[in-house]
Amino acid sequence: MLKLIAVDGLSVIEAAAALGIRPVTARVRLHRARKVLRDTIVIPNPVLISVLISVKE
């Protein structure tokens, strides 16, 4: 679902049709996928990285 929308550029309605599901189902799945992705990705903290580098040296 996420790939169809983010990479292939399909709309939610088009992705739903490609997957054979209702558009409302596609929107719910997209919302859940984005939440999992958002909760999984760790954005590096530049301050923490500089502290770790200075401690290592």
Q: pLDDT tens digits, the chain, 57 residues: what are they?
A: 889 988 899 999 999 999 999 999 999 999 998 888 888 887 777 777 677 677 544
Asked if 26 and 40 touch (Cβ cutoff 8 Å), the reply is no
Q: What is the pTM of this model?
A: 0.67
Asked if 5 and 33 touch (Cβ cutoff 8 Å), the reply is no
Neighbours of 6 (CB within 10 A): 13
Compute the distance between CA of residue 54 and CA of residue 10 in angstroms, rounded to an integer.
46
